[in-house]
Amino acid sequence: MTNFSLPDTKVKEIQKYCNLIYDRSRKLNVKDNILDTNRTGKEINLQGMGAEIWYKEKHNIPYSLETILEEGPRTYKKDIDCIREAHKLEIKQTSYPTGCLFLAATDHYKRPRELISDMYVLIVGDFPTYTKDLHITYDELYSKFFNKTSNKIEATIHPKIGKFGYHVEQDEMYETMEEAIHGRSTSKRSSTLS
């Protein structure tokens, strides 16, 4: 895995954009959904949105920092984090080197969360320096949480976080999107030690 850094010329612009989106959401009465109480809502927003932009920069995916303030708040259902090679990606970020991909069982409004993306991506690091991106497909995530007894997907409590959700450790994920899609039987999965 090669290191990739955001261009220095864009860091302030990205930070300004992320803060504008966060402030706009607060004006629209969107509540913070803070899992990591060591960070503020604004910091969590910057880290997450910064990770989305980092991923797009790294993989040459077009994006815009233009804001349309008339639009309502961002939601995981209507705003796709990224489309890459016709796959819808939901991008999550962790500051912790051994942190996991965690999707809360409910959304910001305490409604059950739906798994609607084709691929889930975990970005490790802090804005503006992220260190890696790991991937897992919807099918693999679904299989992990499918309960044969109830015949449906069910969230579980993460042993360290202590919250209900869909969670995958880094060593269960793949270093590239291509490995996640095609390499289940032949690809070596990523290591949390890398």
DSSP for 92-130, written as a single string: EEESSTT--EEEESB-TTSPBPP---SEEEEEEEETTEE
What integer pLDDT is reported at residue 66 of this predicted model? Answer: 81
- Residue 145: strand, helix, or coil: helix
- Residue 22: strand, helix, or coil: helix
What integer pLDDT is reported at residue 179 of this predicted model? Answer: 95
What integer pLDDT is reported at residue 194 of this predicted model? Answer: 40
Residue 191 included in any domain: no
Detail the DSSP E strand segments found in the chain: 82-84, 87-94, 101-104, 119-126, 129-137, 146-147, 152-153, 156-157, 164-168
What integer pLDDT is reported at residue 35 of this predicted model? Answer: 67
97: which 2 tokens? 């080197």
The total number of structural domains in the chain stands at: 1
What integer pLDDT is reported at residue 47 of this predicted model? Answer: 93
What integer pLDDT is reported at residue 140 of this predicted model? Answer: 95
Residue 88 included in any domain: yes
Residue 79 included in any domain: yes
Is this prediction's pTM over 0.75? yes
Residue 192 included in any domain: no
Residue 189 included in any domain: no
Whether the CB-CB separation of 127 and 157 falls below 8 Å is answered with: no
Residue 150's domain comprises 8-182
Site of tokens 């004006």: 27
Residue 134 included in any domain: yes
pLDDT in tens, the chain (194 residues): 457 889 888 999 999 999 988 888 888 777 776 667 788 888 988 999 999 999 999 999 999 888 655 555 556 566 789 999 999 999 999 999 999 999 999 887 788 998 999 999 999 999 999 999 999 999 999 999 999 999 999 999 999 889 999 999 999 999 999 999 986 544 444 444 44
Residue 193 included in any domain: no
Site of tokens 């109830």: 150
What integer pLDDT is reported at residue 78 of this predicted model? Answer: 65
